[in-house]
Amino acid sequence: MTDTATTWFIIFALGIGTFVLRFFFIGIIGDRELPAWVLRHLRYTAVAVLPGLVAPLVLWPAATDGQPDPARLAAALVTLTVGYLTKNVIYAILGGAATLYLGLYLVG
């Protein structure tokens, strides 16, 4: 494991770097109008990043050493379906958690 000085260097480098990423557009562009084609792409930011962020975590969970796991796959599917149909984040989470624990109980 990394020594204390290096750990703090990583923490602050990561903290400053992350703030710069978060502040870059909102701070620099501010109230200037963005062209229509830029806005059209920005509308899809969330839906372009989050599914890609999650897909490998669902397919290859670290907790099962990267092996696909039926309980986790089922939980993911239920969460997405409930979220899509109800448009309600909390119902989707509860549905997914219930499926996960049921699946782990049945399979594991």
Partner 1 sequence: MAASTTNSAYWKGFRDGIPFILVVTPFALLFGVVATESGLNLLETMGFSIVVIAGASQFTALQLMNDNAPTLIVILSALAVNLRMAMYSASLTPYVGKAPIWKRAFIAYFMVDQAYAMSIVTYETRPEMSVAARVSYYFGVVTPIVPLWYLFTLVGAMVGQSIPPEMALDFAVPITFIAMIGPMLRTPAHVAAAVVSVALAIGFAWVPYNLGLIIAALGAMVTGAQAELWFARKAGS
Residue closer to partner 1, measured from CB, 40 or 106: 40
Q: Are 72 and 58 in contact (CB under 8 A)?
A: yes
Q: Are 99 and 76 in contact (CB under 8 A)?
A: no
Residue closer to partner 1, measured from CB, 12 or 106: 12
- Is residue 81 close enough to count as binding partner 1 by CB under 8 A? yes
For the bound state, the minimum distance from the C-beta of residue 67 to partner 1, rounded and expressed in Å, comes to 13
- Is residue 19 close enough to count as binding partner 1 by CB under 8 A? yes
Structure tokens at 20: 């710069």
- Is residue 32 close enough to count as binding partner 1 by CB under 8 A? yes
For Cα atoms 73, 79, 84, give the angle at the middle one, nearest 5 degrees.
Answer: 130
How many Å apart are CA 47 and CA 32, to the nearest integer? 25
First-to-final CA distance of the chain: 32
- Among 35, 70, 90, 107, interactor with partner 1 by CB under 8 A: 90
For the bound state, the minimum distance from the C-beta of residue 59 to partner 1, rounded and expressed in Å, comes to 7
- Among 24, 68, 70, 107, interactor with partner 1 by CB under 8 A: 24
